[in-house]
Amino acid sequence: MSISLPLGRRILIVTGHYGSGKTEFAVSLAMALSKNNATGYEKIAVCDLDVVNPYFRSREQSELLESVGIHVYGGIYGKGTTAEIPEISPSVRAPLEDANCFTIIDTGGNDSGARILKQFEKYFSCDQTYLAAVVNASRPETSTLSLAYEQLSSIELALNMKIDGLISNTHMLMETSAEIIQRGYELCKSLSGKMGNDLLCVTYPESLVSIDELTTIPEQKFPLGMYMRQSWLDK
């Protein structure tokens, strides 16, 4: 199962607040697209542009992604991460310039993490780019409509771009339930109305919640693979 973007959008920028689950979504989507061959493009790439948080970065799953044919771009140190030296390899321009490549960009959190995109803005024409914001209503910074609106508005201001759609990704780690997902969906539905954008999809951890429990949500539903979780987080 995958999600549908507007026709012609081959660059998906995934942004949002810290801890919203941007990277988990980006990796899960890339894996789903590779299995379904659903993009219509010859290649799929993931660009890790997170220079803010050294943990839970998509480049950590480079071997898994590359094993199914997904190209991974990011730091000059390859899969390695550096906490002290922000670093982005010039090679990330390659998929952005390749008209035959569907590219998922995993950014850092909040407006500070999104600013790294400014150096690549010439590639982000409105006819081929979709800017999506991940929202987790269980995070204190986006637990209410006003707080979430403030967070996403600051990202739009930093990028001078309008967020095209929201990804409702509300969870409580291993305690996630259908009720928690429903609560996040309702907040994101109100938020999309206030911001004037789409509610692109609602995520759910398929190992914990069945899609049959989410029948009250009419929007696209996307199962997360939980690729970024380490076993110690569940102890």
- Residue 181 CA neighbour count, 13 Å, CB half: 28
pLDDT digits over 116-128, tens only? 888 899 999 989 9
pLDDT digits over 202-221, tens only? 999 999 999 999 999 999 99
Q: Is residue 113 part of a domain?
A: yes
pLDDT digits over 127-137, tens only? 999 999 999 99
Q: Is residue 175 part of a domain?
A: yes
Structural domain boundaries enclosing 87 = 11-234
Domains contained in the chain, number? 1
Q: Is residue 223 part of a domain?
A: yes
Q: Is residue 5 part of a domain?
A: no
Under 8 Å between Cβ of 2 and 222: yes
Predicted model pTM: 0.89
Q: Any idea what the CATH number is for the domain that residue 176 is in?
A: 3.40.50.300
Q: Does residue 20 register a pLDDT over 70?
A: yes
Q: Is residue 3 part of a domain?
A: no
* Winning range, highest mean pLDDT, from 58-72, 87-101, 127-141: 127-141
Where do the H-state alpha helices sit in the chain?
A: 22-36, 62-67, 93-97, 110-114, 145-159, 178-195
* CA nearest to 52, candidates 25, 86, 24: 86
Q: Is residue 15 part of a domain?
A: yes
Question: What average pLDDT does the chain have?
Answer: 87
Q: Is residue 2 part of a domain?
A: no
pLDDT digits over 134-171, tens only? 999 999 999 999 999 999 999 999 999 999 999 999 99
* CA nearest to 8, candidates 176, 158, 185, 130: 130
Q: Is residue 203 part of a domain?
A: yes
